[in-house]
Amino acid sequence: MKQIEVSFITINYNSSQYTAELINSILSNTDSVSYEIIVVDNASEDKDFLRLKEFLKDKNDVTLIRNSINSGFSSGNMLGVNHASGQYYFFVNNDCKLLNNTAGVLKEYLDSNAEVALATAQIVDANNNYSSSHKQFPHLLKQLFGNSVQRKFSRIKFPSNRVTLDKPTQVEVVSGSCMFFNADAFCDIGGFDTAFFLYCEEEDIAKRIWESDRKVFFIPEAQIFHEAGGSTEQGFLMQQEFYISYYHLLNKHYNRTGRILLKIALFFKLFFRMFKKKMGVRMFLSMLSGFPQKNSLRYSQKIKKHHEEVV
C-alpha cells in the first residue's frame, strides 16, 4: 500500500457543485505528491448528497463520508481526520479551487522547514485580486482603535493582511479556508476545538500552534481561488454565531482582565452599531445576555435518519 503524503479534507453542505469543482481542481493540479481526498457531507439534503455521490462514483482515492448531523466546521473536519492517513492534512473549503500545484508547494516548504507546522497559500478572489490569506489574533488595540492602529503596533512581528507578500512569511493566523498542517503537529495539539461550530477555529488552532513552539507561515507561491460564501448565508443567526465563537475564544485564551477589557470594547462597538446596522438592536441584546452557547446554530441541527455512511 502506497504511503499517502497529503490528505485533502473538505466539507460539503448543500453545495455539491462547489465540491465537484474543488475536486476537479485537485485532480488537475496535484501531480508531485501522493494524496487522498476525503469529503465529509455534513447532513446535506438527500438531493445534494446523491448528486455528489454520483459525481464521485468513478473517482479513485476519494472517500465520501455522510454525517448524520451538521456538526459544523471543526467537528466535520475532525470526522474527516478519522479517515485520513496522510503525512500532511490539507483542510480546504469546498468553495475553493487549486490554481497550481498548491499541495506540492506547501509540502515542499514544510518538508524543508521542520519548525513550520501550519501554512497557507495565496488566496485570490473572483476578480483575481489578492484576498486575505492571513490575519491577526484579536487584540485590545483593534477593538478600541481599529485595524489600522493595531497594524502599526504589531507589524514588526507579523505583517498586515493588507500588505502583498512575495516571499514565505510568518503570520499570526491563517485563513480557515486553506490550512495545510503537518499531521503529527496537528494531532499533537489535539486538532480543532469542536466547541467552535463555525467561526474562530483558525484563530484558536493557530494560537495553539505558536504556543507549542511551532510556526505558522504564508507561502505565496502556492495559489488558491476562494469563492467565499458557497455554503453559508449571512444573516442575524450567522452573525450571532460569530460572536458566540468569539466569546469562547476570549474565554479560552485570555486572562480575566483581558477578557473584561475586550468585552467592554465590544460592548461599545455593538452599542454604536445599533444606530447604523440592520439587526443592530437584536445583536446588542444578544450581547447583553452574554452570547450564550445555547443560542448556537449547533443546537438547532436535526439528526438525519440515516447513520454515518462511508463511500
Break the chain into its structural domains and give their ranges. Answer: 6-232+306-310, 236-300
Give pLDDT, residue 2.
73
Dihedrals phi, psi of 145, to nearest 5 degrees: -125, -5
Q: Which residues in the chain land under pLDDT 50? A: 155, 230
Question: How many helices (H) and strands (E) in the chain?
Answer: 11, 13
pLDDT of residue 138: 85
How far apart CA 41 and CA 292 sit, in angstroms, is 27
Are residues 97 and 178 in contact, defined by beta-carbon separation less than 8 angstroms?
A: no
**Which CATH code is given to the segment(s) 6-232+306-310?**
3.90.550.10
Nearest to 92 by CA among 231, 210, 247, 297: 231
Q: Residue 278: what pLDDT?
A: 82
Q: Where are the alpha helices (DSSP H) in 61-200?
A: 72-81, 102-112, 140-145, 147-154, 183-188
The amino acid sitting at 97 is K
* Single pTM value for the model: 0.91
Contact between 287 and 274 (Cβ < 8 Å): no
Extract the C-alpha cell encoding 101: 500545484
Cell of 157: 512581528
